[in-house]
Amino acid sequence: MLKAENITINTLTNPWGISEIPEIGWVLASDKNSVMQMSYQMQVAEDPCFRRIISDSGVVRSSDSTHVRPGGLQLAPTASYYVRVKISDGREKSGWSETARFTTSLLSPENWHGRFITAENGDDAGNSKGTLVRAEFSVSSPVVSAVVYSSALGLYRMYLNGQKVGPDELTPGWTSYRKHLLYQAYDVTGMLRLGKNAVGALLGAGWYKGKMGFLGLRNNYGDRTAFLCQMEITYRDGTRQIVSTDGSWKGSDSPVLFSEIYDGETYDARLEQDGWCLPGFDCGGWRPVSEVPYDFSVLTAQPGCRVRECKSFPAQRVFRTPKGETVLDFGQNLTGWVHFRVRGKAGDRVVLNHFEVLDRDGNAYFANLRTAKQTVIYTLRGGAEETFHPHFTFQGFRYVRVKEYPGDVRSEDFRAVAVHSDLKPTGSFECSNTDLNRLQHNIIWGMKGNFVDIPTDCPQRDERLGWTGDAQIFCRTASFLADTDLFFRKWLKDLAADQTPEGGVPHVVPDILTGKCGGDWLLSQGSHSAAAWADAAVILPWTLYLTYGDVEVLRKQYDSMKAWIDFMHSHANGSVWNYKLQFGDWVALDAQEGSYFGATPNDLTCTAYYAYSTGLFAKICGILGRKDDYGKYSALYREIVDGFQKTFFTKDGSLTARTQTAHILALYFHLTPKRFVKKTVDTLLQLLREHDGHLVTGFVGTPYFCHALSQNGHTEEAYKLLLKEDFPSWLYQVKAGVTTIWEHWDGIKPDGSMWSPDMNSFNHYAYGAVGEWLYRTVAGIEFDEKKPGCRHTLIAPHIGGGLTFVRASFRSGYGPVKVEWRTEDGADVWLHVAVPHNTTATIMLDLAKEVTEDAGQVFTRCSGGFHAMVGSGSYQFRFTR
């Protein structure tokens, strides 16, 4: 049995809004082992019966089954296409796969008939109220299909005949609005009715117009919200009708009196206008809308990875604090909002204050929110039971103080809903250590809480910005946990758009800081181009290529990557680079008292990343066949490494900076002279012992600490570091009962006091980057950069840490890679692996002395154990250590 199944288009299932020739992928299904595709045939048609085939590859001798582009395909706007595939492995031929479908976007600015319209005027620049816009239209005969394309300056919720269109929230998301704006596509065929129909939208300030950033500035992109939509209706007789936003629409204020990202939402249900988005509504009191000029060339369709309500949490308990506050505990620190129901008289209010943790006395703790209010105020209409949740804001919280509520506060009337980008889970990890399993849980929820359309630094205080360093540090871990390809590609487009003309990379993307930080004590020194932060420009595309195997991301980001390397080169002093404001080993514990900056010198961290990114970029040049650039940047890389060694190593092989982070970077980035590797490792171990086996690293050193140990023969020391339970450690937080990752190792100190409220998030994924080590080393799932995307996988689990079993998987574009190991009597190890069809793997048996069960595979002795090359299938091995 051989089949091609799970057909995807741009990694999505039957997507809407494709704007370029798509990449097709499929998974091979077979009941045999060592199955490799020998050929495929792919057809694209305009109809599901494939009577009108517009692209037929014929039989192509190729093993490619991911990122395959149809040849000779010319896409029409707002059209549907159908795809099918059949394959051969040289022994069998499959039949045609099930049919997949994709629908194109408007493709070019000329195809837009709609215009951005607003119900606001210049006097509204200082407020964050919600507005409504609406129109009516007629449907004259039976409809075959209807698709709507919509976007906004601000945030929007679209309605058709009284129903919300689509499941998405916080659309169109946050981008560099003047250079890149997304629009969404929805199938609304089933929502139309013969005769009169009504379409409308509720608009909010969002990231576009609201107060954003710790400087509290408004109108970062514009001072009026606006809505854009274009509905294309196809009738049974083939005729088409277009309904779009224009000057004929009407506008009104809404019951949303105030809504902002940081401060929450105020809603007065007494102002609701029943039937406002139904046909026949009397809008005589509504005002004319006006058009807002906009450059339609920056509009891009968003086919997937949108923000949605993803999981619901009932309130676990209602309790009174020592101060007498009524508090709801939802048991999970999350990003989203609260759904509640309430009954009372007109004018009664519900007031909810959201927060993350209780203080040492058990009272609500709001200080770490800084100026963010995180408050929802709902005024009742009165009479029947009412339900509500906010529209254009989100909160970071586990707890909610119920400041006002008519009647008794009952847990069953409240539920928290996690709202984040809808990413398909790809990784799983569990082991015999329940604390590590909890750490894995916390890492996942740190990612979910901070992947709200962009990768943010935190979801609760008056910040929530796309800090590049946090994203760079965590991207490898994130890409094990979930399919982050579209999520990061969208953000990388904004990174490139917001680079300075010279190639500098902003500290935050989208960039709302440049030119606005004169009064800030820190960022007035520079708003772009910090080592480890700006290096996201290179490290993220490389990570996506390594994880998913698609060279296209390297092509698209090439100019951006090159510009960043050239920026560093132009500002380097010889081979040493250090530019204006640097964050260094941010919030490391070896910092001076009261300082955010770790003890590792900036010129060392900067030059280390200068070398690392340049080396990656040289590899990328080679992959893309850019021979001249490959030669140029390979030579530059060698120069930087040589300069690093001469500058930061003494003649006796000591590093000039005696910090954990300095040694970690020198080892992990392969900057240590070969003759000094052992000494560097020994010194790192000594630095660990000086702190009783604890880390004192910050954002730069922490992600690579365990790797620097295990890659240099000290896996057991890496396990001991990971499994530390007292402060400071990962499991210190787990033992404290938290459900996400903290920004600071000492966010809550052992005595229960808090780190400074200036910057103390309890949902901050950066230190969750250790999750990468769980997958790559503990489970041993490692990507081969010569055959990325799991085309060939290196499976080399490192046994240790007192663990008796580990079970992990990663779902690649070819199917899941699975690894499970368990120990018996401390010496025998059982290893079960599953390798997806159309791929191969190298199995490494860690420190094996003898292979006692080889599953018919040929193992060869090597340094560190035994290894074997295997084809696809499931295998079970046993070996003695």
3-class SS at 827? coil
Q: Are both 2-104 and 308-421 of the same fold?
A: no
CATH level 3 topology of 109-304: Jelly Rolls (2.60.120)
Q: Residue 780: exposed, middle, or buried by beta-carbon count in 10 A (0-12, 13-18, 19+)?
A: buried
**Count of CA atoms in the C-beta half-sphere (13 A) of 729:** 22
SS3 letters for 355-384? ECCECCCCCECCHHHCCCCCEEEEECCCCC
Cβ neighbours of residue 84 closer than 8 Å, sequence gap 6 or more: 7, 42, 43, 50, 96, 97, 98, 99, 100
**Where does 278-381 have alpha helices with state H?**
none
Q: Which helix (DSSP H) or strand (DSSP E) does residue 560 occupy?
A: helix 558-570
SS3 letters for 120-160? CCHHHCCCCCCEEEEEEEEECCCEEEEEEEEEEECEEEEEE
pLDDT score at 645 = 98
Cβ neighbours of residue 253 closer than 8 Å, sequence gap 6 or more: 119, 129, 130, 131, 132, 271
Q: Are strands 792-795 and 840-846 parallel, antiparallel or unpaired?
A: parallel
Q: Where are the domains of the chain?
A: 2-104, 109-304, 308-421, 779-880
SS3 letters for 205-245? CHHHHCCECCCCECCCCCCCCEEEEEEEEEECCCCEEEEEC
Amino acid at 578: N
3-class SS at 403? strand
If you search the block for the tokens 């690894």, which residue do you land on?
Answer: 819
Architecture of domain 2-104: Sandwich (2.60)
Architecture of domain 779-880: Sandwich (2.60)
In degrees, rounded to 5, the angle at the alpha carbon of residue 170 between the alpha carbons of residues 166 and 172 is 80
Tens-place pLDDT, residues 778-792: 999 999 999 999 999
The candidate with the shortest Cα–Cα distance to 551, out of 879, 152, 64, is: 64
pLDDT score at 214 = 83
Instruction: For domain 308-421, give the CATH number.
Output: 2.60.120.260
Q: How far apart are CA 851 and CA 829, in angstroms?
A: 10
pLDDT score at 824 = 86
Q: How far apart are CA 114 and CA 99, in angstroms?
A: 33
Dihedral-angle region of residue 13 (phi above 0 means left; psi in -120 to 50 means alpha; beta otherwise): beta
Active site residue 463: yes
Amino acid at 702: T
Structure-token pair, residue 42: 């792919």
pLDDT score at 520 = 85
Contact 192, 108 (CB under 8 A): no
Contact 247, 293 (CB under 8 A): no
Question: Choosing from 463, 717, 772, 820, which is the catalytic residue?
Answer: 463
Active site residue 743: yes
Q: Which helix (DSSP H) or strand (DSSP E) does residue 450 occupy?
A: helix 434-450
Q: What percent helix, strand, coil does the chain show, rounded to 5?
A: 25, 30, 45
Which parts of the chain sit beneath pLDDT 70? none
Question: Choosing from 136, 260, 717, 743, which is the catalytic residue?
Answer: 743
**Count of CA atoms in the C-beta half-sphere (13 A) of 99:** 13
In DSSP terms, 328 is beta-bridged to: 318, 400
